[in-house]
Amino acid sequence: MSNDEALNFLAEESIVSSVSPIKHYKIMIADDDSEVHLVTKMILQSFEYEGKGLTFVDAYTGEEAKQLLLQHEDIAVIFLDVVMEDLHSGLEVVTYLREVLNNQITRIILRTGQPGEAPEDRIIREYDINDYRLKTDMTVSRLYTSLYTALRNVQFIYG
Amino acid sequence: MKFKNRISLYRALMFPMIAILLILFTVFTTLWQFDYRWITTEHSQKLLTALNENIETKLVRYLNEPLRVNQMIAATISLRKDYLNLDASNIQELLKKSTETYSSELPQISVYGYGDENQNFVGIRINDDGSKSLMLKDSRTEGLLNIYTTEDIDSSIVTSIENYDPRIRPWYAPLYEVPVSQWSDIYVNQDEKQEITISSIVPILNESGELVGSSTLDIKLSNINDFLKEDHTKGAGLIYIVDEDWHILAHSGTFSNFVTDNGTVELMSAIDTTESLVRESALRLKEGTNTTATFKQSQIKYYVASEPLEILGWRVVSVIPETDLIGDLLKRQSMTLFLLIMISLVFTYLVYTLIRKIVHPILNVAEVIKRFEVGDYATEELDHVDSVVLETEVFIHAFKGLVDRLNHFFSQLSKSEEKYRSLVENSDDMIITLSSEGRLITVNRKFEENLGRTRDNLIGTLIIDYLDQAHEAEMWLHWINKAIETGIKQENTFSHTSEEGITQHFYVSILPLPDRENLVLCTFSDVTQLIEVQKQIDQIHVQERTNLEMLVSERTQELEHAMRELLEREKLASLGSLVSGIAHEINTPLGIAVSAASYLDTITNEVDKKIEEGTLTKTGLFEYMKNVSEGLSIMNSNLNRAATLVNSFKQISVNQTHESISKFNFKEFIETILISLKHETKIRKIDIQISCDSALVITSYPGALTQIITNLIMNAMIHAFEKDQTGTIQINAEERPHQILLLIKDNGKGISDDHLQHIFEPFYTTNRAGGGSGLGLNIVYNLVTGTLKGKIQVESTNGKGTQFLVEIPKLDGGQL
C-alpha cells in the first residue's frame, strides 16, 4: 500500500449501544487556572471506573470550592490546587471539608506548581489528604493512577 | 491633771448601791412602822377590848350563878315557912343539900348562910381544903353561935361566939332598906377565919311581905383573885378589879391587896399601890377619858383596857404587855431587819471587794503610768497584782507588753540619741546649732578645732563675727531665716580664707529643727579637696569625651557596614522568594503542557493501535483529530505563557550595572516606545497623550526607562479599562534642576486601597486567570529605585483613575 492511499482502512461504523453508566463519579477540579480545568477534563473525558464515568464540578477559587462542596455532598475526588486567591486557599478547603463539613470520605488529590510552598510530607501529615502531585507531573498515566487509587478507596469506604 | 472633779470607779459604783440599800431600809422600816402602828392602834386595841369583855362576861357569870342559887334557896325557905321555926334544922338540912349539889359546880361560894328575925343563923362553910364546917345559932345552941369542925351538929365545936346577931350583919342589914336581891358591901366574916367576903343577899319575906330573913351566899375576894389568876388570856399581863373609888378588889397577882384590922376592911387604892403596873394603868385610865390606854415600863409596852361591870359598879382593868397581844411581831420585824442589814452588809462587802479587785489593778496601772512622768518605767509591781477578773488580767498583761515594748523603744531611742550625739560631736564636719539671730547655741569638737577656741568662748557669740566679709553676715541671716520660715533645708556653699591665706570651701546645710522653734542645725562640710578633685575629674572628662567620640564614630562605621551587608542579604532573600515565585508561575503552564502532551501521546498510541488492527473508524479518527487539535492548542498557549514569563524574568534579572547610559531627547524617546506598542494600542479605544518639552534632553538608562514606560502603559491599558472602553492615558514629563518628573495618568476605574498597598509586590496580580504574572509593576519599582536611583509614587481614586509619579534623577556628564 502506498502512503498516499486513501484512508480506506477505516472500519465501518458499528452501532454500539453504549450503555451509559447509570452512576457517575463526581469529580471537583479546584484551580484558578482555566487551562488546568480544560486539560484535566480533556484527559479524563473517557475515564471509566468499574463501568462508571465521571462528571465534573469546576471551582476557580477556594471560596467557590467550599460553596460547591457544601452543595455537592457526593463529590468523590477533588483535584485541589494549593495556591489560588491566596497562598493557602487549597489547604483551607481541606480543613473546611474535613473539619467543618466533617467529610472524611471525599478523596483529596493536592496539586501544586511549587513544592517549596507546600512540602509534601508536612502537608500529608498535617492535613488529611490522600495524594500529592506536582503540576508538572500530571501525565495521563499518573493522573489515571491517582484517580484509580482514589476511587478504589472511595468504593472501599462506601462498601 | 484635773482628777479632782472625777470620782473613782468604786465610789461611783458603791455610792449608788449603798444609797439604794438605804432607801430600801427606809421604805421597809417605814412600811413596818405603818404595819406596826396599825396593829397597835387598831388591831391590838380591838384585841384588848375583846379580851377585856371576855373576862368581864366570865366574871359576871361568876357572880350571877351564886345569885341564882341563892334565890332558889330563899324561895324554898319562904315557901316552907322555915323562918317560923326556932329550930333551924330544916334550913340546916336545905343548906347541907345545897352545898352537896353546888360545891363542885360553884367553887366560888365559900359560905351558904341563912339568918332571920329570930336571930337564928345557919351557915355551912366550905373550907379551903374542901371540908365543910357547920355554923349554927338557934334554939339548940342556947344563944351561942357555934362553929363545928364538920357539917354535923354532933361534931366538936371549934369556936363559940356570943351575942351574934345576924340582923346587923352586912349581908342582912341592907335588906331593911331595900328588901330585894343584892350584893353586900365587902366585909369581914365574923368567924374564926375572918375572910374578906362579898355576899349575895336574897330577902326572905313572909306572906304579908315583911322581911323575916336573909339567905346569903358568900364569895371570898381571894376566890375572885384565883378566878382572875386562872384566866390565861392575860399572858404575862395583869387583870384587876377596882371599885368606883379605884380600890383594888381583886387581881390576878400574888400580892395582897387589902389589910384587915380588927374586923374592918381597908382596901388598897390602885393609885397608891406599890404594884407599879396597877398604879400606872390606873393612873392612865383615871387621867384619860378613854377606856383604853398604853404605857411603857421597863422597855415593855403595856396596853390597858377597862370595862365597867354591869353589877356592883366595879371596873375590870386588863393590863397586857405588847408581846402577848401581838405576839413577837416587833421582835420578828427587828430580826428580819437585822437579817436584811446583815445580808446587805455582806453583799456590799462582796461588791466592794470585787470592785476593788477590778479597780485596784487599774489604779496600780495608773500609778505605774504616773511614774512614767519621772522616767520610771518599772512594771514589776504589776506582777503581784491579784486580778481575779479576766478582762483586768488581759488589760494588765497587754499593758505590761506595751510598757516592755516602750522600754525597749526608749532604750533604743536613748542609744540612738547617744549615738547621734557622739556622731555629731566626733563628726569631721563642723556642726553647730544657731538661733534665729545667728547666735551659737551648741558647737561640736571640729568647730572648736577649726576656730581654735573652746566652746565656752564660742557659745553665745554670733556666727557673723567669724565671717570674712561684712556682706556675708546678711547672707547668713537670710539663710537662717529662710530655713526657719519655710521649714526646708537650705544648702549653700561658702568660702573662708584664714589669716594664713589658705582658702577653705565649705558646703553648708542649714536645717530647721522641727522640735525646737527658731533653731537651726548648721553643718559645714569641708569640700576644698572635693573641689580640687572635681577639677581633675572635669579634665579627665574632656579627655574621655574625645576618646569616646572617636570610638562612637568607629562603631558607627562598623554598624553602617553591617547594615549594608544586611541589606545585601535581604536582597538575596528576596531573590530566593523571587525564584520560588518564578517556579510556581512557570510550573503551571508547563504542567498543563506536559499533561496535554502526554494526553496526545496516549490517544495517538491508541489510534496507532487501531490503525494496525484496522478498527479505526471515521468517527474515531475525527474524534482523534479534534482531540489532537485541542491538545495542541492547549500546549501552544501554555508554552507561550511559559515563554512570556521567562522573558519577563529575563528583563528583571538583567544586570543593571551593565545597562548602558546615553543622552537622548526625551519626547522622541517616548514616541518611539508608543510606536513599539502600536500592535497593542491599535485594537483599543484608548487615547494616549504626550506632554513634554520637545527640547528636553536627558542622560539616563534608556533600556530601563523603556521598560518602565512600557509596563506602566500596558498596566493602565489592561487594568484601568475594560476591553471596549474609551479612555485617556496622559504622559507628562517636566524638567527640574536635578531630575525629570514623569507622570503617567489614566482616567480609568482606579485601584482599591487593598490592592494599592501590594501593587509593587512581585507576583501580586488580580488577573492571574487572564495571564497576568504579577511582575510588571515590581519590575517598574525595581528599575526606578534600583537602576535609576529615583522614586515612584502611586495615587488612585476609585472610579476616577490612577497616576504614577516617577522621579528620574539626571545623570550629568560625570557619570558618562
pLDDT digits (tens, 9 = 90+) for A18-30: 444 457 889 999 9
Q: How confident is the model at residue A114 (pLDDT cuts 50, 70, 90)?
A: low
pLDDT band at A2 (very low <50, low <70, confident <90, very high): very low
Residue A12 has pLDDT above 60, yes or no: no
Q: Tell me the Cα Rg of chain A.
A: 18
Whole-angstrom distance, CA of residue B647 vs CA of residue B779? 12
Q: Do A12 and B592 touch (CB under 8 A)?
A: no
Instruction: Tell me which chain A residues have a C-beta less than 8 angstroms from the C-beta of B601.
Output: 140
Report how far residue B750's alpha carbon sits from residue B800's, in angstroms, rounded to the nearest whole number: 6
Q: Are B593 and B642 in contact (CB under 8 A)?
A: yes
pLDDT at residue B656, as a whole number: 41
8 Å CB contact between A28 and B635: no
Mean pLDDT of chain B: 80
Q: In the prediction, which pLDDT does B17 show?
A: 81
- A113 and B634 within 8 Å at the Cβ level: the answer is no
Residue B762 has pLDDT above 90, yes or no: no
Q: Which of B585, B599, B618 is the closest to A43 by Cβ?
A: B599
- Chain A: closest CA distance from residue B636 (Å): 11
629-648 of B, contacting A, C-beta below 8 A: 630-631, 634, 637-638
Contact residues, B window 584-613, toward A, CB-based 8 Å cutoff = 584-592, 594-596, 598-599, 601-602, 611
- Could you tell me the pLDDT band of residue B650, with boundaries at 50, 70 and 90? low
Which stretch of B249-253, B259-263, B655-659, B737-741 has the lowest confidence by average pLDDT? B655-659
Sorting pLDDT into bands at 50, 70 and 90, what band is B568? low
Give the pLDDT confidence score for residue B5 in this predicted structure.
67
Interface probe for A, chosen from B579, B587, B588 (most Cβ of A below 10 Å), is B588
Which cell numbers in the block locate residue B753?
486601597
On whether the CB atoms of residues B55 and B231 are closer than 8 A, the answer is yes
CA-CA distance, B320 to B304, in Å (whole number)? 6
Tell me which of B595, B624, B764 to substitute to probe the interface with A (most A C-beta atoms closer than 10 Å).
B595
Q: Please, which residues bridge with residue A111 across strands? A: A81, A133
Q: Is the pLDDT of residue B386 over 80?
A: no
Strand pairing report for B697-700 and B685-692: unpaired
Give residue B615's pLDDT band: very low, low, confident or very high (50, 70, 90). confident
DSSP 8-state secondary structure symbol assigned to residue B262: T
- The CA dihedral of B513, B517, B518, B522, to the nearest 10 degrees, is -10
User: How many other CB atoms sit within 10 Å of the CB of residue B102?
Assistant: 19
Are the CB atoms for B285 and B305 separated by under 8 Å? no
Per-residue HEC secondary structure of B87-131 comes to CCHHHHHHHHHHHHHHCCCCCCEEEEEEEECCCCEEEEEECCCCC
What's phi and psi for B635, nearest 5 deg? -60, -45
Q: What does the buried/exposed string (b/e) look like for B397-412 if buried means 16 or more CB atoms within 10 Å of the residue's CB?
A: eebbeebeeeeeeeee
Identity of the residue in B591, B602, B627 whose CB atom sits nearest the CB atom of A113: B591
Cα–Cα distances in angstroms (integers) from residue B528 to residues B424, B429, B496, in the given order: 21, 12, 10
Mutation target for B interface from A8, A37, A64, A139: give the one with most B CBs within 10 A.
A139
Chain A residue with the nearest C-alpha to that of B624:
A42
Q: From the candidates A7, A37, A38, which should be mutated to test the interface with B, based on the most B CB atoms within 10 A?
A: A38
pLDDT band (50, 70, 90) for residue B233 = low
Q: By C-alpha distance, which of B94, B97, B126, B123 is closest to B110?
A: B126
Which of B246, B244, B248 minimizes the C-alpha distance to B311? B244
- For residue B618, what is the nearest residue in chain A, using CA coordinates? A10
Model confidence at B200, pLDDT cuts 50, 70, 90, reads confident
* The pLDDT value given to residue B733: 92
pLDDT score of A14 more than 60 = no
- Give the pLDDT of residue B232: 64
pLDDT tens for B478-529 read 888 888 888 888 888 888 777 777 888 888 888 888 777 788 888 888 888 8
Average pLDDT estimate for A9-26: 58
Q: Among B587, B596, B638, whose Cβ lies nearest the Cβ of A114?
A: B587
**How do strand B109-116 and strand B121-126 relate by DSSP bridges?**
antiparallel
pLDDT over 90 at B731, yes or no? yes
pLDDT of residue A1: 43
Q: CB neighbours (10 Å) of residue B355?
A: 18
Judged against a pLDDT cut of 80, whether residue B293 lies above it is answered with no
> Residues B398-452: pLDDT tens digits?
888 888 888 888 888 888 888 888 888 888 888 888 888 888 888 888 888 888 8
Nearest to B598 among A40, A111, A140 (CB): A140
Task: Give CA separation, B156 vs B150, B162, B456, in Å.
Answer: 8, 17, 148
B629: pLDDT strictly greater than 50: yes
For A31-72, the pLDDT digits (tens) are: 988 888 989 998 888 888 888 889 999 999 999 999 999 998
Give me the helices (H) in A3-139, please.
Answer: 34-44, 62-71, 89-95, 120-126
- The whole-model pTM stands at 0.36
Question: Which residues are CB-contacts of B532 (< 8 A; sequence separation ≥ 6)?
Answer: none
Chain B residue with Cα closest to A137: B591
Whole-number pLDDT of residue B657: 42
- Answer whether B584 sits within 8 Å of A114, measured CB to CB: yes
- Please report the ipTM that was assigned to this predicted complex: 0.80
Distance from CA of A12 to the nearest CA of B (A): 6
- pLDDT reported for residue B427: 83
CA-nearest of B109, B118, B99, B139 to B204 is B118
**B528 vs A: CB within 8 A:** no
Does B583 lie at the interface with A, CB-CB under 8 angstroms? yes
User: Are the beta carbons of A42 and B599 separated by less than 8 Å?
Assistant: yes
User: For the CA atoms of B553, B554, B560, B561, what is the dihedral angle to 10 degrees?
Assistant: 160
What whole-number distance in Å separates Cα of residue B145 and Cα of residue B136? Answer: 6
pLDDT of residue B738: 85
Q: Kindly list the residues of chain A whose beta carbon comes within 8 Å of any beta carbon in chain B.
A: 7, 9-14, 32-36, 38-40, 42-43, 60, 83, 111, 113-114, 116-117, 134-141, 143
**B218 phi, psi to nearest 5 deg:** -95, 140
Q: What is the mean pLDDT of chain A?
A: 80
**Average pLDDT rounded to a whole number, residues B156-181:** 83
With CB atoms and an 8 Å threshold, state whether B617 touches A12: yes
Region at A34 (left for phi over 0; alpha for psi -120 to 50; beta for the rest): alpha
Set of chain B residues whose Cβ sits within 8 Å of the Cβ of A38:
634
Q: Which of A57-71, B55-69, B164-178 is most confident?
A: A57-71
In this complex, do B619 and A13 lie within 8 Å of one another by their Cβ atoms?
A: yes
Mutation target among B592, B605, B766 for the A interface, most CBs of A within 10 A: B592
- What digits encode the pLDDT tens for the residues B341-372? 888 888 888 888 887 777 777 778 888 888 87
Residues B105, B238: contact at Cβ < 8 Å?
Answer: no
Q: Tell if the CB–CB gap between B589 and A139 is shorter than 8 Å.
A: no
Burial class (CB in 10 A: 0-12, 13-18, 19+), B224: buried
pLDDT at B752 over 50: yes
B250 pLDDT more than 90: no
Residues of A within 8 A of B769 (CB-CB) are: 32-34, 60
Contacting residues of B for A139, CB less than 8 Å apart: 594-595, 598
Predicted pLDDT at A23? 73
Chain A contact present for B617, CB below 8 A: yes
